Chain A
């Protein structure tokens, strides 16, 4: 069956919407903030991802097709395959995304997407250069084993990527309540990109926010606490090479200077922020520290 590539068709719309959002920022700066060097970094990351995709595709498609030979069910392109792939691919995305935030190896490949302190449509294109080599496509192989054809998986991944473009904006506030309940929206995804301790490690959804609600990672946006975007240790560079590789360099340094094998293992597979001497903080530690700080601030001073 011949399926179109949703991303290729969406690129003109991506460009047009970025231009419109830039113009909006000129008149309503609170709704859209563009910095040319930051957007340039994002766009070159997107371009690099597109180019590297040609290399990765052969490897991933070969593995996927090989696994497909051992499929459990014969699903093919039946009508219900399109419904099944919608939910199954989105569930795979949720777990890929959650693991990418919870383990440093995949975080090193994903951090670039969060490295901008700006949050606009161009941020959506700040895509990884190294995810394919880090094996972040592995969760989707389960779909091949289930019996979903590779072209269908690629098609749905494209649909998900296109969907996730429009949620990278401050121009849209909250949408219709039932929609916010089921789908990932700009409001939910702003929380995901925020570095405020209470918002860390939340809202991993691709299209459906229901996965976060089911697995306990949902945090709603609180207008009393505006999102501050980026990463916990902000970078000071617009250079796409720095954006793409800074965490890999840091990871390599940590592994090479680890005091034990366990330390090297934990630096690689432990949570981002883990350190042997406890001098750095993981998201969980930052959240706990914030809770303690708020409790101290709220408790009456002792006499």
Chain B
């Protein structure tokens, strides 16, 4: 087989009849139509975070751990958890109608200074964006105290 035959075979495999610069925008348009269709048929999918699904998630991902304290955000989009683990802080956040569990350090969290009813969690890494947990002023102050205790405990261990 000559090289010419080989390459003509290769291009015949890839032969799309349409130039890529035309094909790609057409494909992107179809993708957008399909997404709109899926959104219209499937509807909005946002799970409501509750004590039950936090507990179920923890028992799947960390079956040896139990929830000791839980703060559900007022919009039910996230929750902060204290567990019986040596590194006890966890964040549960919604991701469509699924949930994601993150392990946090006290330094990842801080109350928003100008609003005492919000707890802010920094971006932890590339795949876990920052999030704010809305709660009552009392809950915020309780959790600030808990986080302070955890921070001091970590410092004393170090």
Interface residue? A40 (CB, 8 A): yes
B35, B102, B126: the one contacting A39 at CB < 8 Å is: B35
B16 x A237 contact (CB < 8 A): no
Please give 17 more A-B residue pairs, beta carbons under 8 A apart, in addition to A25-B42, A237-B128.
A1-B9, A35-B96, A50-B24, A54-B20, A57-B14, A65-B3, A117-B98, A118-B96, A151-B10, A151-B13, A235-B100, A236-B95, A237-B127, A242-B127, A245-B126, A250-B125, A250-B126
The answer to whether B41 has its CB under 8 Å from any CB of chain A is: yes
The listed residue (B16, B60, B102) touching A228 by CB distance below 8 A is B60
Q: Decide if A47 touches B27 in the complex (CB within 8 Å).
A: yes
Q: Choose the segment among A14-22, A83-91, A101-109, A134-142 that binds chain B (4+ C-beta atoms closer than 8 Å).
A: A14-22
Whether A37 contacts B9 by the Cβ 8 Å rule is no
**Interface hits, B1-58 → A, CB 8 Å:** 1, 3, 6-10, 12-16, 20, 24, 27-28, 30-31, 34-35, 37-39, 41-42, 45
For chain B, the count of residues having a C-beta within 8 Å of the partner chain is 42
Give the interface SS of chain B, mostly helix, strand, loop or mixed: helix
Q: Which residues of A contact B90 (CB under 8 A)?
A: none
| B127 in contact with A154 (CB, 8 Å) | no
* In contact, B126 and A149 (Cβ under 8 angstroms): no
Task: Give Cα distance in the complex from A154 to B10, angstroms.
Answer: 8
A residues neighboring B (CB under 8 Å): 1-5, 8, 15, 18-19, 22-23, 25-26, 33-40, 43-44, 46-47, 50-51, 54, 57, 61, 65, 68, 76, 117-118, 122, 149-151, 154-155, 158, 228, 230, 234-238, 242, 245-246, 249-250, 293
B6 touches A151 (CB 8 A): yes
Known: A149-B1, A236-B128, A249-B126. A43 touches B34 (CB 8 A): yes
Determine the chain B residues whose CB is within 8 A of the CB of A154 once the complex forms: 10, 13-14
How far does the alpha carbon of A23 sit from the alpha carbon of B34 in the complex, in Å? 12
List CB contacts (< 8 Å) of B77-109 with chain A.
93, 95-98, 100-102
Interface contact A5-B1, CB-CB below 8 Å: no
Nearest CB of A to B30, in Å: 7
- Once the chains bind, are A68 and B37 in contact (CB under 8 Å)? no
Contacts of B60 in A (CB 8 A): 228
Assess whether A34 is in contact with B14, with CB atoms less than 8 Å apart. Answer: no
Residues in chain B near residue A33, CB distance under 8 A = 97
Q: How far is the CB of B150 from chain A (nearest CB, A)?
A: 18
B37 touches A22 (CB 8 A): yes
A236 lies within 8 A of B37 (CB) = no
Smallest CB-CB A-B distances: 3 pairs: A36-B39, A151-B9, A235-B127
Q: How far is the CB of A22 from chain B (nearest CB, A)?
A: 5
Residues in B neighbouring A35, C-beta threshold 8 A: 42, 45, 96-98
**Is A3's CB under 8 angstroms from B42's CB?**
no
Q: State whether B129 touches A38 (Cβ < 8 A).
A: no
Given the complex, which residues of B lie within 8 Å of A236, measured CB to CB? Answer: 93, 95, 100, 102, 127-129
